[in-house]
Amino acid sequence: MRTRDECVAADQADVLAPLKAQFSLPPGVLYLDGNSLGAKPRAADARAQAVVGEQWGQGLIRSWNSAGWFDLPARLGAKLAPLLGVPGQEVVVTDSTSLNLFKVLAAALRLQGSRRVIVSERDNFPTDLYMIEGMMDFLDRGYELRLIDEQLSLADALDDRVAAVVLSHVNYRSGAMYDMAAVSAQAHAHGALIIWDLAHAAGAVPLALAADGADFAVGCTYKYLNGGPGSPAFLWVAPRHQNAFWQPLSGWWSHKRPFAMSDRYEPAEGIRRYLCGTQPITSLALVECGLDIAAQADMAEVRRKSLALGDLFIELVRTRCAAHPLTLITPQAHVRRGSHVSFRHPEGYAVMQALIARGVIGDYREPEVLRFGLTPLYLGYADVWDAVEILREVLDTRAWDQPAFRERAAVT
Amino acid sequence: MRTRDECVAADQADVLAPLKAQFSLPPGVLYLDGNSLGAKPRAADARAQAVVGEQWGQGLIRSWNSAGWFDLPARLGAKLAPLLGVPGQEVVVTDSTSLNLFKVLAAALRLQGSRRVIVSERDNFPTDLYMIEGMMDFLDRGYELRLIDEQLSLADALDDRVAAVVLSHVNYRSGAMYDMAAVSAQAHAHGALIIWDLAHAAGAVPLALAADGADFAVGCTYKYLNGGPGSPAFLWVAPRHQNAFWQPLSGWWSHKRPFAMSDRYEPAEGIRRYLCGTQPITSLALVECGLDIAAQADMAEVRRKSLALGDLFIELVRTRCAAHPLTLITPQAHVRRGSHVSFRHPEGYAVMQALIARGVIGDYREPEVLRFGLTPLYLGYADVWDAVEILREVLDTRAWDQPAFRERAAVT
């Protein structure tokens, strides 16, 4: 696509284009940040009204049964499961990604007995590293966190002391994607278990957790799954591990008979064992609106379009912003790329603020990284064209070179 | 109050009565279950619409700053703090009560070094016991859970091996309330730390955590604080302990510089150290509607009315339902009672279903317990009169004696 007209034509031929009408996006905005907070499904307003106005306001306590509140984690898990490539009864939507990582890491360490090394990646999303550190510090049992980076490859990090490998399938900053099957097999070859964080993958790339040999997976629903701000996360455990141990955040929702009010803990069978306490129902219920849209899309088509949008974005930046110091940090190879593309720019923070001021919403990540999420459900080729044109204008005119755009907000 | 007219007159003289107009209650319902799920503030619909429609739909990712999403745990904590008798900067609203208990118990155990006993109560709300069990099992370091009950008093359970005492200030089933100052002092006399679960106390009874010598407190916002179904819980840590350790659920929201994306964890100073991951913003934001109503009420007046409603309920049941096998299990002494009253009845489950079918909503707890929450912000004396009249009618006519009322729902 060399012209805007060609992009418009591609949008007209796009089988996913009609889904955009199911989202509400503000006028004048090109939203390239669905990898941080997904756009709002139009159905979410009515759903919020139903949960707050009717289920809470009118149903009151009765809604735990009549509105199915108690079953929401499992019911939403079953809707999400096809996107992860696993059976419906193996997934729950609950708590946060950080907490779910704690649960599955605890389970993995217990399964692994005396192995004392956890492998992760220096460039992993920090909360994953912090949760690992928190657990190691709490257990105080000689665990070691080994971080792969430019100096240490995964192959070199793996040995028979490694209990678990914790990796993000798609890197939050660069958009680089691992080969799940190959890396899972590599971990297993050393007797290590593999935990995948799917925050930047679920809903954006086709997943086959079972076929690819994953042991555990967690991830969030507020990015490509469009579940709403901070909506509860998900958790999957391979059936072979589900009942093998008892995760330590063993609140009453994970009890075999939660309403028997027994004074002794007895874990539920299956994935319900990974629940903990009472869930934030309003936020949780809204997750369904996003899942209902995702269910209408063919994931192979989503992936094809995501890569096409990414190719277009990269090519347009290369050709139309060539005069500016933008460095692509996202792999160009399709098998190595998720659904966002990132560039470094020495004035990255200010450039992003100038873009946002012009309605092109991406985000900024330390250090110097401009990050653009490409969300096939509501973004088109002409949108990408227009966004790059505005980027070009911001750079050509040095529109970013203002004190107001350099001033850091609390949340970047 | 011997007649309904006297109850009506008491309602007319009630200084809290005008607050009822700020809640939305369904017609034909007498709601005596605000101790399980508080009623909906009228403001909650507009707030939900604002968060979903405007902040998410229009503001999108920008709302983390512009709508103050990131600061919500601390901002709501500051609004809640006066109800707990502590300064505003010492409280956060976040995660669930179960998770918050895990955080503070981990902190307490760490502070206590080699002490290996945790004291709680057999009749505590089960999730507290399950979380303690989960932590002991995970640490696998010889911890012992010692449960006080009819055979073992707190005095007998305490010795110099006790690290922490975990008690509910108001018992979820019986409504019995501990003397916080006396019990805290009793624990401290043995060198133990005291953790209070305030789920059935916050917003219902005046609290003075600092003056009463508490070390840690957790509790939920969806009961007497009217925060909405499953709304996030709260957590308080005495300033003397706040920076003394690092709690294990150390997600990025608890990091000193969460957006620096450092690969090493460094805990924030103060109560922010007790946060973990991204919060469910829609559910969290709704908590403010309930807190805003609570802020308008004098807690001494709330307590006075709560006890008067309880006295009335107990006296009316005693006099008007005398022919039936109802056994009061709630202490009658004011200093020993929270804000709900409970009776055992051999057919408790069916009786409660029959009451609910007639619009008197209380709830049932194993074994055989009818539980009635008395919420001064939206319940009046005539409501109590009418509820007991319907209870009397259900019992006199054996209306509960139907198969449909005996059939157990998923959530009881």
The string of pLDDT tens digits covering residues B124-134 is 999 999 999 99
Residue A401 a catalytic site member: no
| Overall size of chain B counted in residues | 412
Rg of chain B over Cα atoms, rounded to whole angstroms, equals: 22
Quick one: pLDDT band at residue A101, thresholds 50, 70, 90? very high
A396 appears as a binding residue in the annotation: no
Quick one: pLDDT band at residue A412, thresholds 50, 70, 90? low
pLDDT tens-digit profile of A64-87?
999 999 999 999 999 999 999 999
Interface test with A, best of B24, B32, B36, B37 (most A CBs within 10 A): B37
What gap in Å lies between CA A131 and CA B205, rounded to an integer? 36
Q: According to the model, what pLDDT value does residue B412 have?
A: 64
Q: According to the model, what pLDDT value does residue A161 have?
A: 98
Chain A residues with CB-CB distance to B221 below 8 A? none
Three-state DSSP at A255 gives: strand
Please, which contacts does B140-144 make with residues 24 or more away whose CB atoms are closer than 8 Å?
B141/B116, B142/B116, B143/B109, B143/B116, B143/B117, B143/B118, B144/B116, B144/B117, B144/B118
B200 appears as a binding residue in the annotation: yes
On whether the CB atoms of residues B364 and B348 are closer than 8 A, the answer is yes
What gap in Å lies between CA A216 and CA A212, rounded to an integer? 11
- Cis ω before A367 (30° cut-off from 0): yes
Contacts of B319 (CB under 8 A, 6+ apart): none
Residue B197 a catalytic site member: yes
Sign of the dihedral through C-alpha A377, A382, A384, A386: negative
> Which CATH topology does B4-41+298-405 take?
Aspartate Aminotransferase, domain 1 (3.90.1150)
CA-based nearest residue in chain B for residue A121: B263
Token pair 């629940």 is found at A275
Decide: residue B150, CB within 10 A, 0-12 exposed, 13-18 middle, 19+ buried: exposed
Out of B40, B103, B337, B371, pick the active-site residue.
Answer: B371
- Cis ω before B367 (30° cut-off from 0): yes
Domain-wise residue ranges, chain A: 4-41+298-405, 70-296
pLDDT tens-digit profile of A273-310?
999 999 999 999 999 999 999 999 999 999 999 999 99
Q: Which of A58, A147, A280 sits opposite B263 (nearest CB)?
A: A147
On whether the CB atoms of residues B373 and B340 are closer than 8 A, the answer is yes
Quick one: pLDDT band at residue A408, thresholds 50, 70, 90? confident
Contacts of A372 (CB under 8 A, 6+ apart): A32, A33, A313, A340, A341, A342, A362, A387
Neighbours of A324 (CB within 10 A): 18
What gap in Å lies between CA B256 and CA B167, rounded to an integer? 31
What letter would DSSP give residue B398? T
Phi, psi at A118, each rounded to 5°? -115, 130
pTM over 0.90: yes
Across the 412 residues of chain B, what is the mean pLDDT of every consecutive 10-residue run? 95 98 97 98 98 98 96 98 98 98 97 97 97 96 97 98 98 98 98 98 98 98 98 98 93 94 94 97 98 98 98 98 98 98 97 97 95 98 98 98 90 68
What CATH architecture does domain A70-296 belong to?
Answer: 3-Layer(aba) Sandwich (3.40)
Q: Which of B261, B276, B284 sits opposite A365 (nearest CB)?
A: B261
Chain A residues with CB-CB distance to B262 below 8 A? 126
What gap in Å lies between CA A172 and CA A342, rounded to an integer? 10
Structure-derived torsion over alpha carbons of residues A348, A349, A354, A360, reported in degrees to the nearest 10? 80
Average pLDDT over residues A1-27: 97
On whether the CB atoms of residues B243 and B268 are closer than 8 A, the answer is no
**Which uninterrupted H or E stretch holds B387?**
helix B381-396
On whether the CB atoms of residues A201 and A170 are closer than 8 A, the answer is yes
Lowest mean pLDDT of A196-200, A230-234, A408-412, name the range: A408-412
User: Distance (Å) from the C-alpha of residue B2 to the closest C-alpha of chain A?
Assistant: 31
Mark out the alpha helices in A37-140 (DSSP H runs).
43-49, 63-66, 72-84, 97-111, 126-139
Helix, strand, coil percentages for chain A (3-state, nearest 5): 45, 15, 40
Q: What's the ipTM? A: 0.97
Q: According to the model, what pLDDT value does residue A409 have?
A: 81
